[in-house]
Structure 1
């Protein structure tokens, strides 16, 4: 009986890990690169902020200066994406916000603090023209509205490249995910974040295995 239990555990654990990383439509294939290099985010941040896209898997958003209206989108991605992935060391949420929204952001984060640990929520503040200029580097089909907001949030890899889908059933190329749609965030986006995390974990495993072989 004990032997059967041990064998069952040995079988189930790898299966659970597989289902976590490969439960979506992409199944361990790499998440497509839709834009190889977006703008440099560090030029907006103070040196003390140490905020960078490099070596991070980033969920990038533009929530605008009407945060009282759009904060529902922040709550959506907090509940469906951030809470699910924030324990991964290289994961972060990054919002590019207009100058003057600092107090609104602080108020929103205070509300979120009652629900989750928000230490991987990052905010950078810039002038409207700078935000629009940076947004254009995504080369997406979306646009910022008059409040410098778009409901779409984006997956940026460790090299600063925009990732998404190039064969989505509904739109073909999917550059960003509608944070106002719980079903899209909880479905497509969560699935795609799993894929890119699996991609990097697999690359790290191969690298470590090669180091072991060399040392031998």
Structure 2
């Protein structure tokens, strides 16, 4: 009897644990899609110089709305830079896009100069548009959040490579989590970091599968 018990402990329990966690990975490998289609960026003008076009296509995008006075977004920008941008900017198809109203270009440059002291802004894009375009973009996210009168929001949003809004279909309070409050270190550390990891892992798995299938076909 003791021998069977020892065998059970040594082999059955680890196998059961493996199957449990393996099924968990399969069940939670994808970050839920909350909005299928959002307003695109083609009508917005890039502030990066040159003819660079900023797009959601084939990019995992962290979308933000600093508002009319982007310099007031400084603390939020530092939080994002430290907790999200810096750890994941090395991922090839990862980008930040901040949308600001026309006429805010000078403050954007001041904000960029300050942030660039702590991170490389190569993958942090700023685009400008009219108030109508910014409202149209925000409204198309179809969230339970509102854009402030100055066209700002403390929340940022995860947009996938197909231009779909990702988030949690059931957060701690039982409701959907559409955006991540950049004013909250708790939210960035305990929610957004995890969700960014999930969507990056999702695309890594898809890329591995694609490469494997191509290798097998050759």
Paired position in structure 2 for 1:89: 92
Stretch deviating more after TM superposition (206-215 or 148-157): 206-215
5 Å-filtered alignment, 1:37-116, equals 37-45=37-45, 48-116=51-119
Q: Return the alpha-carbon distance in structure 1 between the equivalents of residues 173 and 26 of structure 2.
A: 15
Q: Is the 8 A contact 2:157 2:180 kept in 1?
A: yes
Paired position in structure 1 for 2:18: none
Q: Is the 8 A contact 1:64 1:148 kept in 2?
A: yes
Consecutive aligned runs of 4 or more in structure 1 exceeding 3 Å deviation: 25-28
Q: Return the alpha-carbon distance in structure 2 between the equivalents of residues 212 and 72 of structure 1.
A: 47
Q: Return the alpha-carbon distance in structure 2 between the equivalents of residues 83 and 67 of structure 1.
A: 20
5 Å-filtered alignment, 1:99-178, equals 99-178=102-181
Secondary structure, aligned partner of 1:165: coil
Q: Return the alpha-carbon distance in structure 2 between the equivalents of residues 65 and 117 of structure 1.
A: 24
Residue ranges of structure 2 left out of the alignment (5+ in a row): 1-24
Are 1:214 and 2:217 matched, yes or no?
yes
Q: Return the alpha-carbon distance in structure 2 between the equivalents of residues 42 and 53 of structure 1.
A: 9
Q: Return the alpha-carbon distance in structure 1 between the equivalents of residues 101 and 26 of structure 2.
A: 35
Residue ranges of structure 1 left out of the alignment (5+ in a row): 1-24
Q: Return the alpha-carbon distance in structure 1 between the equivalents of residues 33 and 162 of structure 2.
A: 11
Deviations 1:54-88 (A, max 9, x none): 00000000110122322211111111000010011
TM-score (norm 2): 0.83
TM-score (norm 1): 0.84
Deviations 1:79-133 (A, max 9, x none): 1000010011100000110011111111111111111111111011011121111
Q: Is the 8 A contact 1:34 1:161 kept in 2?
A: yes
- Going from structure 1 to structure 2, the CA distance change for 1:27 and 1:120 (only over 3 Å counts) comes to farther
5 Å-filtered alignment, 1:4-15, equals none
Q: Is the 8 A contact 1:27 1:195 kept in 2?
A: no
Aligned residues: 191
Alignment RMSD (CA, Å): 1.7
Structure number with bigger Rg: 2
Are 1:188 and 2:191 matched, yes or no?
yes
Secondary structure, aligned partner of 2:55: coil
Q: Is the 8 A contact 2:60 2:158 kept in 1?
A: yes
